[in-house]
Structure 1
Amino acid sequence: MNLWFRLIKALFMAMLRKPAQPFDTTVVKMRVWPNDLDLNLHVNNGRYFTMADVGRIDYILRSGVGKVALKHRALPIVAEATAKFRKELRLFERFEIHSRLVGWDDKWSYMEHRFVRKGRVAGVVFMRGFFKGAQGAIKPEDLAEYLGVPSMSPLLPEWVTIWAESCDGLTESIRLEESIAATQEQPVYASHS
């Protein structure tokens, strides 16, 4: 099934399903279709990220985050994402995407999308992002306040903090490369051969 059909279905179903609280886990049911597969005949690694978008849209619409975003004319922006693959998802298998807000820091909101089949976690997509509106980024604590939850995040797991620091390190490394390339008037990513 094409991503657009999945997205339209998620939008429609979110309107029919009961609202969720910001810390609830939302669940979207899916099936593996032929265009989800790679040459190994299981779900393509990149497809997990695309399907996580559908789970995230369902969460945003049902949790009230979408109303806040609409009020501020803000769009969700994913800055970084990582995945862990544990079990294969094969053709026509049914699975669920369990999406939840893990917490936030002063800049980013952190979300987890678990791909669950027969009660087992087949894979996880973890991301951090923010909402960007006409006035710039909406601070996560402001978003929490709009949603009526405490502005202080639940404690983030240690691995999330380490992952976030490594993402920041990569960003700084790229900025440094660009800065050096600009002073030397050469492409940022030149061949080293």
Structure 2
Amino acid sequence: MYVWGRLARMMATAGSRGSYQMGDESRLAFRCLPTDIDFNRHLNNARYMMLADLGRIDIFIRAGLIRLARTNGWAPMIGGLQSAYVREIKLWRRFEVVSSIETWEDSQVIGKHRFVLDNGETAALIMTTAGVYDRNARRFLDIDEVVAALGRSAQPRPPSEAERAFMASHQNLRDQAKRTG
């Protein structure tokens, strides 16, 4: 139930965080609850992914993508992710999930989710790749099309070396998954 509670809270407060513009961050505050922990009494790896989802959904709502997707038969979809855990988030500890759209290329968006402890230290970093699927046309949209449909004129910056390495690694893993049936 608490997963839905966190989602409902994020959705109910999205308007107070204002419209999302490229370069902005989504900042959502949490506390590590007993239902979040594993045997080591710290935030378990599955919770990181779920909380990163909330950061993405917050961006999608505030940018107007959810409304536009429903109108046009589109579906924002995550393609993959890479995570690095560098500090524990222990039971009852406060932290923020700081999410952003870093850049895009063709039909692929690169996102970042930083888990920041209440003392400012980064506990984990998740990079994601995602796209917007047009159900009617049966294709992923070029992100420039999506940006234009949102009424924005933002231009992506070139992917960093780390982002290019992530995209290549992700593509290699996708290719491997397709080959193994």
- Judge same fold: TM > 0.5, yes or no: yes
- Is 2:129 the counterpart of 1:149? no
Determine the structure 2 residue equivalent to 1:163: 166
SS in 2 for 1:22: coil
Determine the structure 1 residue equivalent to 2:111: 111
- Is 2:25 the counterpart of 1:25? yes
Answer whether contact 2:112 2:125 (CA < 8 A) is retained: yes
Instruction: Tell me how far apart the structure 1 counterparts of residues 55 and 27 of structure 2 sit (CA, whole Å).
Output: 7
Instruction: Tell me how far apart the structure 2 counterparts of residues 12 and 18 of structure 1 sit (CA, whole Å).
Output: 12
- Is 2:63 the counterpart of 1:63? yes
- Counterpart residue type for residue 110 of structure 1: I
- Please, which runs of 5 or more residues in structure 2 have no aligned partner? none
Deviation at 1:75, TM superposition (A): 2.1
Answer whether contact 2:107 2:132 (CA < 8 A) is retained: no
Determine the structure 1 residue equivalent to 2:141: 138
SS in 2 for 1:92: coil
Instruction: Tell me how far apart the structure 2 counterparts of residues 18 and 28 of structure 1 sit (CA, whole Å).
Output: 13
Q: C-alpha root-mean-square deviation of aligned residues, in Å?
A: 1.6
Instruction: Tell me how far apart the structure 2 counterparts of residues 175 and 143 of structure 1 sit (CA, whole Å).
Output: 27
Instruction: Tell me how far apart the structure 2 counterparts of residues 177 and 39 of structure 1 sit (CA, whole Å).
Output: 33
- What's the CA shift string for 1:32-51, capped at 9, x where partnerless? 10010010000001210011
Deviation at 1:120, TM superposition (A): 1.3
Alignment of 1:118-133 (within 5 A): 118-133=119-134
Answer whether contact 1:68 1:143 (CA < 8 A) is retained: no
- Percentage of pairs with the same residue: 26
Determine the structure 2 residue equivalent to 1:97: 97
SS in 2 for 1:23: coil
SS in 1 for 2:42: coil
Determine the structure 1 residue equivalent to 2:44: 44
Instruction: Tell me how far apart the structure 2 counterparts of residues 22 and 66 of structure 1 sit (CA, whole Å).
Output: 16
Answer whether contact 1:77 1:129 (CA < 8 A) is retained: yes
Deviates more, 1:49-58 or 1:63-72: 63-72
Question: What TM-score do you get using the length of structure 1 for normalisation?
Answer: 0.85
- Please, which runs of 5 or more residues in structure 1 have no aligned partner? 179-193
Answer whether contact 1:22 1:64 (CA < 8 A) is retained: no
Change (3 A) 1:67 1:149: farther
SS in 2 for 1:21: coil
Answer whether contact 1:108 1:129 (CA < 8 A) is retained: yes
Q: What stretches of structure 1 move > 3 A for 4+ residues in a row? A: none
Question: What TM-score do you get using the length of structure 2 for normalisation?
Answer: 0.90
Determine the structure 2 residue equivalent to 1:177: 180
- What's the CA shift string for 1:64-117, capped at 9, x where partnerless? 222332332222211101111111111111111111001111121111011111
Deviation at 1:4, TM superposition (A): 1.0
Alignment of 1:71-90 (within 5 A): 71-90=71-90
Deviates more, 1:12-21 or 1:116-125: 12-21
